[in-house]
Structure formats: structure tokens, C-alpha cells
Amino acid sequence: MDTKTIDSNADTVFNVHWRLTATDDTNNDADGNPQTASVYGTQSLDTSDLSSFTAFADLTASDVQGWVETAMTADTVTEMKTGLDATIAELVTPTSETKTIG
């Protein structure tokens, strides 16, 4: 997380670096590991209203996840999860194959 002081609130989180990972525990890869897919990025947060400010030391992962999901919107989060599920489905049952000559 990136922080700075805003309106005398030290360590105000204004940007979050996140990763979303999907795991299929049913269909393992050739090495016996679960199939996984992930996406990552950063999300800036609206810090214009700090009336319900939470000190950095009191933050939980759940708090920050909620902020990020709200900033992204539920539709975007759902699209990312759907995309990860599709990626895992392609790993489990490929619809194409890459080949080389020679």
C-alpha cells in the first residue's frame, strides 16, 4: 500500500497494489499442483472524505480489500473472477495447442 499524510492523518492509504488468484484444487497440473491463475494491479482510493479515517496500525486486510473492491466496482471484480475461471478452464481443457516445426 502507498501512504501519505492527508489532512493531518499520517499513513493515509491512497493506493493499493493487489493480486487476485484463483485456484482449482480438483484438476491438478502435470506435477500434481493445483491449477492457478492470477491477475494483479494497483487501485487508487478516494481520499477526499476522511471522516471515518482508520489509523494504519488498525487496518485489516478485509478493510483494504473492501475499499479496493468498492473503488473497482462489483462488475469489474466479477469480470476479473470470470476471466480467471476461464483461464483455469483453458489450462484444464485446452482449446488450442502451440506447435513448432523442426
pLDDT digits (tens, 9 = 90+) for 14-55: 999 999 999 998 999 889 999 999 999 999 999 999 999 999
pLDDT digits (tens, 9 = 90+) for 51-69: 999 999 999 999 999 999 9
By the 10 Å C-beta count (0-12 exposed, 13-18 middle, 19+ buried), 72 is classed as middle
93, three cell numbers: 481443457
The pLDDT of residue 29 is: 87
DSSP 8: T
Strands (E), 29-64: 34-44
